[in-house]
Chain A
Amino acid sequence: MLLSVKKLEKRFGKRTVLKGVDFSVDQGEVVVIIGPSGSGKTTLLRNLNFLENADAGTMNFKDRQIDLAHPKKDDVHFVRRHSAMVFQNYNLFKNKTAQENIAEGLIYGQGMDKRQALTIASDELKSLGLAAQANHYPSQLSGGQQQRIGIARATVLKPDVILFDEPTSALDPELVGTVLDDMRRLAQAGQTMVVVTHQMSFAKNVASRIVFFDDGQIVESGSPDQVFNHPREERTRQFLGALAENY
């Protein structure tokens, strides 16, 4: 097991948003998390990367065991160094060019030599067909380009796991495809991924496992075929039924 959390709890004020979540990811898995708006999917991902402080729970990541409510600084840094996150709103560094955005984590997170990091970033841009945008700032890029760079910024770090939070939901429909293609390629290359998304075709075709999340808990988890075609839980059936009506 690469990453697992047990009995993860998170409250915002009086409201319990994560109600004792047990969640795990194996090396090489692509786990897709689906579930209704406000159910806590984003909060779950943010807790995996310590962007939120959990109220209770434990994490096992690689060889480390971490008390989520009282994580050591060193453990937090360790997890962040070996994982990466792709955000719904891209969150590119606005004061850095596309190339610098990709290199930044290598230089300041991993201590790589600047020239080497910029070369890696430039190669990455070439392979994405974005070489012409290397010196563009985020404000000069389309949403789709920004998100592809956001993904490249994560992948060059060669993280053990990449966490995606609705990477295509801020995009115009015609730009969604390019981003999903990048993600599909990553999955085929064996990258371990956790993806929160409403893109059901991606979930069906790319996921190795689907997790249905509702009301701060994992309701059920299984292969795409099992969850989509033979859901065990009534709540899953309702959610999928509502989706089918809307799309």
Chain B
Amino acid sequence: MFDLNFAKEAFPQIVLAVPLTLLIAFIATLIGLVLAIGVVIAREKQVPVLAQFLATLVSFIRGTPILVQLYVVYYGLPQLLTSLQAAGWHVDPNGLPAIVIAFSAYGLNAMANLSESIRSAYHAVDPGQYEAAISVGMKPATAMVQIVVPQLIANLIPNFTNIFLDLIKDTALVYNIGLVEVMGKANIISSEGFKYLETYTDALIIYIVVCWVFAFVLRQFERHYRYAQVSH
């Protein structure tokens, strides 16, 4: 039978793991966003070699499961640091915290997905507006800031929301590298009490609520942006 009391008692403990889930999702999004902007600029400007390399990297990341990426970074990053150290860099490959691994893996994943979304949001702004902006005397950078980027952001928000929510859900995998976020906490409590359905139901509810809250917030943001430019 479903032990409601067990579920109730486990709930607050699992909730305590929410900040870690959010921390990973936030930092990964932030890292991903900064990298993605760089990727988009390099690809749109068709920087030789770099553009092709980044295109391959992006399709690689988008074509593989995030769990595999997590393991590759988990085992690969320390080795990379070891070779950097051997080459004379001041880095310490030992004792790399799991959270740094998580930030790196999820950040790269976010970079790949965000860069594709930013590119399509950019292409959705018709180039005629940029041309009109420079033809009224704006410098190219001003034209981007005043005309192109605000529309790009409005186009981006729906996809951005999806990517961010996916990231929150995907952080459930970090218990594989020893981090105790919502899913990890649920695992631990289940195996201690031999009650599985109760704790995973708790986790389910927590994920639903968290995702719902962020979906709501981002929708408000989207509405604000859309209202400023599309017929209503």
Mark A residues whose CB is within 8 Å of B: 49, 51, 77, 80-81, 83-85, 87, 89, 91-96, 104-105, 108-110, 137, 139-140, 150, 153-154, 157
- Determine if A93 and B147 form an interchain contact, defined as CB atoms under 8 angstroms apart: yes
- Determine if B137 and A81 form an interchain contact, defined as CB atoms under 8 angstroms apart: yes
User: How far is A69 from B10 in the complex, measured between Cα atoms in Å?
Assistant: 72
**B-side interface residues, number (CB < 8 Å):** 22
Compute the total of residue contacts between A and B using a CB distance below 8 Å: 77
- Determine if B132 and A91 form an interchain contact, defined as CB atoms under 8 angstroms apart: yes
Task: Give the most central of B134, B137, B231: most A CB within 10 Å.
Answer: B137
- Determine if A109 and B136 form an interchain contact, defined as CB atoms under 8 angstroms apart: yes
List of B residues within 8 angstroms of A154 by Cβ: 136
Given contacts A93-B132, A94-B129, A95-B154, contact A109 B138 (CB under 8 A): yes
User: How far is A157 from B230 in the complex, measured between Cα atoms in Å?
Assistant: 27
User: Could you tell me the distance in whole angstroms from the C-beta of B123 to the nearest C-beta in chain A?
Assistant: 15
- Determine if B136 and A153 form an interchain contact, defined as CB atoms under 8 angstroms apart: yes
Name the one of A85, A92, A95, A110 contacting B135, with C-beta atoms under 8 angstroms: A85
**Nearest 8 CB-CB pairs, A to B?**
A109-B137, A105-B136, A91-B128, A91-B132, A85-B135, A81-B137, A95-B229, A139-B231
User: Could you tell me the distance in whole angstroms from the C-beta of A219 to the nearest C-beta in chain B?
Assistant: 27
* In the assembled complex, B151 has its CB within 8 A of some CB on chain A: yes
Which residue on B lies nearest to A46, using beta carbons? B131
List of A residues within 8 angstroms of B132 by Cβ: 85, 87, 91-93, 150, 153
Name the one of B142, B229, B231 contacting A108, with C-beta atoms under 8 angstroms: B142
- Determine if B138 and A105 form an interchain contact, defined as CB atoms under 8 angstroms apart: yes
List of A residues within 8 angstroms of B129 by Cβ: 91-94
User: Could you tell me the distance in whole angstroms from the C-beta of A133 to the nearest C-beta in chain B?
Assistant: 13
User: How far is A85 from B129 in the complex, measured between Cα atoms in Å?
Assistant: 12
10 contacts between A and B (CB under 8 A): A49-B135, A81-B137, A83-B135, A89-B128, A93-B129, A93-B132, A108-B133, A108-B136, A137-B230, A153-B136
Given contacts A87-B128, A104-B146, contact A139 B230 (CB under 8 A): yes
Name the one of A83, A89, A108 contacting B138, with C-beta atoms under 8 angstroms: A108
User: Could you tell me the distance in whole angstroms from the C-beta of B60 to the nearest C-beta in chain A?
Assistant: 32
* In the assembled complex, B150 has its CB within 8 A of some CB on chain A: yes
Interface residues of B in 140-172 (CB under 8 A from A): 142, 146-147, 150-151, 154
Interface residues of B in 169-188 (CB under 8 A from A): none
Name the one of A89, A95, A157 contacting B136, with C-beta atoms under 8 angstroms: A157
- Determine if A51 and B131 form an interchain contact, defined as CB atoms under 8 angstroms apart: yes
- Determine if A84 and B146 form an interchain contact, defined as CB atoms under 8 angstroms apart: no
List of B residues within 8 angstroms of A91 by Cβ: 126, 128-129, 131-132
User: How far is A9 from B136 in the complex, measured between Cα atoms in Å?
Assistant: 25
User: How far is A87 from B128 in the complex, measured between Cα atoms in Å?
Assistant: 8
List of B residues within 8 angstroms of A157 by Cβ: 136-137
* In the assembled complex, B139 has its CB within 8 A of some CB on chain A: yes
- Determine if A110 and B154 form an interchain contact, defined as CB atoms under 8 angstroms apart: no
User: How far is A83 from B136 in the complex, measured between Cα atoms in Å?
Assistant: 8
List of B residues within 8 angstroms of A139 by Cβ: 229-231
Which residue on B lies nearest to A85, using beta carbons? B135
User: How far is A139 from B136 in the complex, measured between Cα atoms in Å?
Assistant: 21
User: How far is A201 from B133 in the complex, measured between Cα atoms in Å?
Assistant: 31
* In the assembled complex, B228 has its CB within 8 A of some CB on chain A: yes
Task: Give the most central of B134, B151, B154, B228: most A CB within 10 Å.
Answer: B134
User: Could you tell me the distance in whole angstroms from the C-beta of B125 to the nearest C-beta in chain A?
Assistant: 8
- Determine if B137 and A105 form an interchain contact, defined as CB atoms under 8 angstroms apart: yes
Name the one of A77, A95, A137 contacting B139, with C-beta atoms under 8 angstroms: A77
Task: Give the most central of B133, B136, B146, B231: most A CB within 10 Å.
Answer: B136
User: Could you tell me the distance in whole angstroms from the C-beta of A166 to the nearest C-beta in chain B?
Assistant: 13
List of A residues within 8 angstroms of B228 by Cβ: 95, 137
List of B residues within 8 angstroms of A109 by Cβ: 136-138
- Determine if B147 and A80 form an interchain contact, defined as CB atoms under 8 angstroms apart: no
Task: Give the most central of A92, A108, A150: most B CB within 10 Å.
Answer: A108
